Structures are given as structure tokens and as C-alpha cells.
Amino acid sequence: MSRPFSRSWLIASIVIFVAIELLVGGWAAQMLSGRQISHMLSLRVELFMSLLSFGVGGFIVGLISPGKRLLEPAIGAAISVVFTFLISVFTPITFIAAAPGRMLIGGGIAFVIALFGAHLGEKLTGN
């Protein structure tokens, strides 16, 4: 059963995405700390953690939300990408410059992955 768009679930989705990324990031940081790894491997692990957090976060929202919620986690994932890019506003690092094209591509990828995760979560619950 589809329900009207919920701002509460949108905010909950953003919080879930950030929490999962922090948990996965903390785990990976502990696993890789003290080891000799290349900078490229570090970036690949960071990318994988981000993509994983969008899929798992979407799945969790699809699993625990009442009724069918697909747009809320997908939009929440896109918004969390924008928040990540806002870091560049406060740091002098130009590598993560908040260019509109980058935010659009990153937000679109996060949207699709979270939508897929939410779909799997809803499918598991029978919605």
C-alpha cells in the first residue's frame, strides 16, 4: 500500500544513511589502520563504503517503514550526498569541490542505489 510522501521518513532516511556510513567507515578504518595501503585503495574503500551505506540504508528504511516507502530513502540519499559535498565549503581541499555536476551525478547514483535497497526491503516485508 502506497502512502503519501513523508518528511519524517525523509529525515529518518538521512540520519540512517549518515549513521550507517559512520559505522561502516569506523569499521573499515579499524580494519585498515596501521597497514601499508595505497592512496587509490583507500579511495576505493571509501567509495565502496558510501555505495554500501546507500543500499543498506535504503533497505533498512524499506524494511522498517510502514506501507510502501521508496521515494523517501532515495531522496534522502541524494540529500546526504549534497551534505557530503558541503564539506568542501568549509575546507580548503579542492579535490572534493562542490561542483553542481558532481553533486548531480553523485546524488543520482545514491538515489538509484537507495531506491533499489528500499525496493528490496519492501519486497522482503511483502509491501
Q: Rounded to the nearest 10 degrees, how much is the dihedral formed by the CA atoms of 27, 25, 116, 76? A: 140
Q: Record the cell numbers describing residue 27, joined without a space.
A: 569499521
Q: Are 53 and 73 in contact (CB under 8 A)?
A: no
Give the pLDDT confidence score for residue 83 in this predicted structure. 82
User: Using alpha carbons only, what angle is made at residue 114 by residues 30 and 108, rounded to the nearest 5 degrees?
Assistant: 105
Give the mean model confidence (pLDDT) for residues 81-100.
72
The pTM of this model reads 0.82
- Say yes or no to pLDDT of 56 above 70: yes
Residue bearing cell 567507515 = 25
Least confident of 5-9, 30-34, 59-63, 94-98: 94-98
Least confident of 38-47, 99-108, 117-126: 38-47
- Residue 112 CB: number of other CB atoms within 10 A? 16
Looking at residue 1, what DSSP letter applies? -
